[in-house]
Amino acid sequence: MTEISSMVITHAKATVEEMEDSWHGDLDLVLNQLYSNELVYECAVLKTCNRVEIYVVSSKGSSVLFHFAKEMGVSAKIVEFYDHDESLRHLLRLASGLESMIIGEAQILGQIKDLFLVAKEAGTVGKILDTAFSKAIQVGKRVRTETFINRGAVSIASAAVDLADDILHGLNDKNILVIGTGEMGTLVTRALAHRDMNVIYIANRTYEKAKYLAVELGGEAVMFDQLEKYVSAADVVISATSAPHYVLKKDIVEKVMDGRTNELLLIDIASPRDIDPSIEEIPHVILRNIDGLRVINEKNLQMRMVEAKKAEVMVGQELELLQAQYKRQKADVIISELYSNSYNLRGTEMEHAINRLSAYHTMGDFERKVLVDLTRAITNKILAEPTKKLRNAAEYDDEDFLDSVSRLFDISPIKKSNDATK
């Protein structure tokens, strides 16, 4: 049976390094690799700083994903494989912020929207995944509207600031350097703007972007080629770029720390990582990455457990509605194909009959209309009872009946390529 299957690698089981090692190529490349498999009818990929998730629609989804994970070199210890219902529940929980390292974080919902749009534009999404992701986005919005699950520090960025505050026992009179002005870097800077500190330095490869953010939030923009100078002046460096390589290398930090006795705190929340992990070997340097945010999450989690329980109830309600929607869709696909095939046959045979009659009699509009109405009525009456039976089967989850009808009339539940949602 053609349903959704998924493979999930997240912070729950994998370290940042393990997640980096499990990802090869860019998003489009991975989508194309998946979609080129003749057994994959639809696919979508979610890639964030602390998760890699792949969703496929296939009659052999588990097998396809197992082999794909093997090709990627993913350890069985860090990956979860979900069937259709498990995938749907996970996706709804994910959009609601219940699967995030920082429970209730707001960024994941926007990331789901953006990454799903990439799959749609690539033409690898059809009705089945579109239904699931549309519902997930709707549920994510509902949870954040009807609960306070996102109250407080609920993002990786704000948690990074809290972590710095926790390690240094306050940020008063501290110099902070933020590297990167993308979404995450901007969120870090916004979180810092409300703290009492000495100065926020903002560095970016495009100086104008750093300057724009500095003006908006009251920081000081610095040239990227002067990074060493401002790392030296900083007490805390938070790096959040989208660079594919290290932006802060060991030799730079070694120069900065030569003769320095006060500690330098480095927090890397980029994926892939911005800061060379070997820097941690340098005396008086404290290096933390996304894995280090778990402590902050544990504190926040206690404050939001009540709201999380409310969100879980909503997810359960919405999951039932989604499952019912899929049942109706499966019956509707079969019914639609039955009507389409029957009407095509009706049209062909009717024209054949009209041609034969025309050889002996003059066929006017009235005669033709009688035949059209007659054949339509016969077709609709023949299909009326099967339509009712199919909808009842969907309502009562009689998969065997639906599958039998599909095989009997050679109806495929899904088609590839041309049926993809653009």
Which residues participate in catalysis according to the annotation? 49
Strand-strand pairing, 175-179 and 3-10: unpaired
Q: SS3 of 55, please?
A: strand
Q: SS3 of 268, please?
A: strand
Tokens of 158: 């704000």
d(CA 199, CA 129): 46
d(CA 322, CA 312): 15
Q: SS3 of 310, please?
A: helix
Residue 88 half-sphere exposure toward CB, CA atoms < 13 A? 24
Report the chain's C-alpha Rg in angstroms.
28
d(CA 9, CA 53): 6
> Nearest 10 degrees: CA dihedral of 148, 149, 154, 156?
-160
Other C-beta atoms within 10 Å of 121: how many?
A: 12
d(CA 396, CA 398): 6
The DSSP annotation for 66-120 comes to: HHHHHHHT--TTTEEEE-HHHHHHHHHHHHTTSSSSSTT-SHHHHHHHHHHHHHH
Return the closest-CA partner of residue 168 out of 280, 250, 262, 252.
Answer: 262
Return the bridge partners of 57, or none: 4, 42
Do 191 and 197 meet the contact criterion of CB atoms below 8 Å apart? no
Residue 155 φ/ψ, nearest 5 degrees:
-140, 160
Q: Is 149 left (phi over 0), alpha (psi -120 to 50) or beta?
A: alpha
Do 322 and 88 meet the contact criterion of CB atoms below 8 Å apart? yes
